[in-house]
Structure 1
Amino acid sequence: MTLRNPTRRTTLKMMGTSAGLIAAPSIIRPAYAQSNVLNITTYDKFLPEGFVEQFEKDTGIEVRIRLTDDQGKQYNLLAAEGADPTTDIVTVAGHRLSQFMASDLLQPIDPSRISTWDNLAGPYKGAPQLIRKGEVYGIPLLAGFEGMVRNTDYTKPSDSWGLMFDPEYKGFTTYIISDFVSITMKYLGYDGDFVAYVDKPEEAQAAVNAARDFLIEHKDMVRKFYDGGAEVQQMLVNEDVYVAQTWSGPAAKLIMDGFPIELSIPKEGTYGFLYSFNLVNHAPNVDAAYTFFSALLANPEVGAAMTRQSGFASAFSGVDQLLTDRERAAIALPEEQIARIQFFAEENRDMKNEMIDRAVAEIKAA
C-alpha cells in the first residue's frame, strides 16, 4: 500500500489506541453579522449538549445548530447561498475538502486566534488533509474509516470483504452504495480511490463497471441500502442484518453499548477519513467562531464526549486517558488491521465522483 500521507503512520497509531445528545437544532435564520450568534452545520452526535450549553452561558453567544447527514447536500447548500451563507461553521470530511475549496466556499483558519490550538494531538496539528498552500483550512475533530461489522451471534469470523457476498447471509447484508463501490473496487483489485487513473478515464470506467456489475450480480444479498449511521445501527440492533459496511463510528458506538458487534478492517483494505470544523467563506460571525474554536479545544473531556457519542477517534490530546476500557477497546484495532487503512486522497476527485454517482444510479435501477 502506497504511503501518500507523511503523518499517516502516527495518525493511524492514534486511531488504534485512542479515539449522548446533541443540542436541539435551531432554525437557521438569514445570516447577518451578530456578535452573540453562531451558526453551525454538523452531524448528529458530534457536539456534546453540555458543552454547547456551557459555552452559551460563559460567552452569551447563542449557538444555532443545523444537522446534516450528507456532504453533497451541505456542499450544494453552501454553493447556492454564495456570498450570503446561513452558516458560519461546517463539518467537512477530509476527502471532500478540495471540492469545497475549489468553489471558494471556505476560508483559511488562523491558529494564532485559537488560544488552545496546542491542545490538538500532535499528528493532527499539521494534518496535510487540512493544509493548502501553507494555510490551515480546518480544526481536526474525529478520525474514522470504512469498516466491516458482523453480528458475532449469527456469523462466522472472516478477514475478507467476501463475507458481504457469502450466500449464507443472503438478505442479511447492507451498505451505503456510494461508499461500497469504492470498497468493492479495492476488493476486486482495482484502485477505489482513483489515484491510479489520473488521465486514464477509460481504465477508470472499466474498473467502476466491474464493481458495478459485481454489486448488481450480488444485489440479492442486500436487505436494503442505507444512508446514515443511525439507520445501520438500528438495523443491526433489530437483527435485520448480520453483516454490514459502515463507518467506524456507528459500529464502535454499538460496541461501547454492549451489542455483540465486531468491527474489522478486512485483508483487502479500506479507506480512512478525517472530519473537521471549517470556517465558511463570508461567514458573518467570524469572531464568535474563533471564540467557539478556543473553547472547543480547552478541555479533553469535550473530545472524550464526542468520541463516546459518535464512536470516532478524537483528534484532541489527552482523550485516551478519559475513556473506559470498553470505550478504548471499541475504537482500538490490531496493528495489522490499522496498517490496511488508506486515507482518501484528493487527486482525481471529479472523475471519481462522476463515475461513482452514475454507478450508484445504475445499481439502484438494476
Structure 2
Amino acid sequence: MIIGQKINRRNALKLLGAGGATVLTAPYLIRSARAESSVLNITTYDKFLPQDFIEQFQKDTGIEVRIRLTDDQGKQYNLLTAEGANPTTDIVTVAGHRYGQFIGSKLVQALDTAKLRNWANLNPAYQDAAWARFEGNLWGLPILAGYEGLVRNTDYVSEADSWGIMFDEKYEGLTAYMAGDFMSITMKYLGHDGDFVTYTDKVEEAQKAASQARDHLIKHKHMVRKYYDAASEVQQMFINEDIHLAQAWSGPAAKLIMDGVPVKLSVPKEGTYGFCYTLNIVNNAPNAENAYKLFDAILANPEVGAAMTRTSGFSSTISGVDKLLDERERLASTLPQDELERVTFFSSLNRSMKNEIIDRAVAELKAA
C-alpha cells in the first residue's frame, strides 16, 4: 500500500507504504545443510524484503544476501542488458506488465515450481495467473501486489458494490479519480477490455471501446471534483471531506485506513486492475539454486508475507497473512478472496497501443 508520489500505470506506482518495522516470531524455513555457494545477489525495491527476514535466512542457510536497491524497472533492465551473459545479480524484481520486455530480451529464466516445496502456500489467485504465464511458462515468484479500488467515506456512503456509484448524481462534485487509470476501469465497467489484451491486431475495436469510455466520462464530467495525479491529493481530499468517493490505488487508501480516516477500499463487482511484483531469477545467474532457497523461505511461513506487507505497504501474495494482521491492518492491506479474484493484473501485451489510445482519450476528456 502506497502514498505520496505522482503515480501512473507506466511507473508501476512508486508509492510509499504504511510501513514500520516488524519482528517475526517464527522460523522461515526448515534448517538445511549449508549451500555450496555462499552468496545471493538481489536487486529489489526498498523495504520489499524485511531485514529480520534476511538475517534469519542468512543464519539458517549460511548464504550471504547482498541487496542492491533500485527505484525503477528500466534501470534493472538496462543493467542486465549491459551485463549480458555475466550478470552481477541473481534476482531482479519485475512487475508483471513488464514481463514481455525482460523475457523478450532473454534476461530472466522460467520458474521451476517443482523446486519450491512451499509453492502451495502461494495464494491460488497467483499460482497460475494468466498475467504470470508467458510463452507457456511461469516466470517469477509473485510477492507483493497493488490494485485500484473504489474508496468511499463510510460516514457518507454506506454501501457500494459497483463502479456505477461514481456516476450517481447524488454524489455530484464529490468524486475524484486519476483520469488515465479510471479510463481503463470505465472501459471494464462498460464491458470492454481496459487492459487491451484482447485487442491484438484490432486497433479500430480498441479505439471504439476507449471512445465509449471517454464519452461516458465526458457525460458525467460534472460529477468530478478533481482529476488528481498524486496520492497525497486524494488523501487530503478525503481528510478534508471534499470528496466521498474515489478511484484510488490501494496504497493511498491503506494509509488513510491506518491513520483512522473513515474510508473503506473495495473491488466492485465489475472488477478492477492491479499490478504484481515478482522476484525473477536472472539468466545465467551464478547462484540460481540459492535463489530458489530464498523463494522457498519466503513461502514457508505467512509471517514473512505479513512482514513484507507491513514494511512495503503492498498486499502480500501468501495465503494466511490476513490471520496475522490486526483488524485495521486487514482492512488496509487485504481483500476478501472473492474481491481478490476480481482483480485483473496488468499484462505486458499491447502496452504501446494501450498507452497511445488511453492518453489520447484522457486529453480529449480534459479538453471537453
Q: TM-score, normalised to structure 2's length? A: 0.70
Moved more, 97-106 or 284-293: 284-293
1:201 deviation in Å? 0.9
Aligned to 1:8: none
SS of the equivalent of 2:207 reads: helix
The partner residue of 1:315 within 306, 314, 317 is: 317
SS of the equivalent of 1:353 reads: helix
Give the distance between the partners of 1:362 and 1:89, measured in 2 at CA.
42
**Conservation of the 8 A alpha-carbon contact between 1:251 and 1:311:** no
The partner residue of 2:122 within 120, 123, 127 is: 120
1:39 deviation in Å? 3.2
SS of the equivalent of 1:295 reads: helix
Give the distance between the partners of 1:311 and 1:200, measured in 2 at CA.
37
Tell me which amino acid in the other structure corresponds to 2:245. V
Change (3 A) 1:193 1:100: same
Change (3 A) 1:282 1:236: farther
**Structure 1 residue 38 corresponds to structure 2 residue 38:** no
Q: TM-score, normalised to structure 1's length? A: 0.70
SS of the equivalent of 1:100 reads: helix
SS of the equivalent of 1:223 reads: strand
Provide the alpha-carbon RMSD of the alignment.
4.0
1:303 deviation in Å? 0.9
SS of the equivalent of 1:82 reads: helix
Q: What are the superposed Cα offsets for residues 10-33 of structure 1, whole Å, 9 maximum, x if unpaired?
A: xxxxxxxxxx3379xxxxxxxxxx
Change (3 A) 1:225 1:102: farther
Tell me which amino acid in the other structure corresponds to 2:248. T
Q: What are the superposed Cα offsets for residues 254-300 of structure 1, whole Å, 9 maximum, x if unpaired?
A: 43554311222334432355432222345565455344323322322
SS of the equivalent of 1:294 reads: helix
Aligned to 2:246: 244
Give the distance between the partners of 1:21 and 1:87, measured in 2 at CA.
27
**Conservation of the 8 A alpha-carbon contact between 1:270 and 1:342:** yes
Tell me which amino acid in the other structure corresponds to 2:281. L
SS of the equivalent of 2:300 reads: coil
Aligned to 2:81: 82
**Conservation of the 8 A alpha-carbon contact between 1:119 and 1:297:** yes
Q: What are the superposed Cα offsets for residues 212-266 of structure 1, whole Å, 9 maximum, x if unpaired?
A: 45546628824352255x7655654465644221233543454355431122233
Aligned to 1:204: 206
Aligned to 2:109: 107
Moved more, 188-197 or 54-63: 54-63
Change (3 A) 1:354 1:101: farther
Give the distance between the partners of 1:219 and 1:22, measured in 2 at CA.
43
The partner residue of 1:225 within 228, 241, 247 is: 228
**Structure 1 residue 66 corresponds to structure 2 residue 65:** no
SS of the equivalent of 1:276 reads: strand
Q: What are the superposed Cα offsets for residues 117-159 of structure 1, whole Å, 9 maximum, x if unpaired?
A: 4543455444443334554311122455421101223446443
Q: Aligned pairs, how many?
A: 330
Aligned to 2:6: none
1:301 deviation in Å? 0.6
**Conservation of the 8 A alpha-carbon contact between 1:22 and 1:45:** no
Q: What are the superposed Cα offsets for residues 23-80 of structure 1, whole Å, 9 maximum, x if unpaired?
A: 9xxxxxxxxxx964623223x6543343234445664624435253xxxx51465147
The partner residue of 2:149 within 141, 147, 161 is: 147
Written as runs of structure 1 = structure 2, the 5 A alignment for 1:310-349 is: 313-328=315-330, 330=332, 331-333=334-336, 335=338, 340-344=342-346, 348-349=350-351
Aligned to 1:5: none
Change (3 A) 1:37 1:45: closer
Aligned to 1:179: 181
Give the distance between the partners of 1:299 and 1:178, measured in 2 at CA.
38
**Conservation of the 8 A alpha-carbon contact between 2:302 and 2:320:** yes
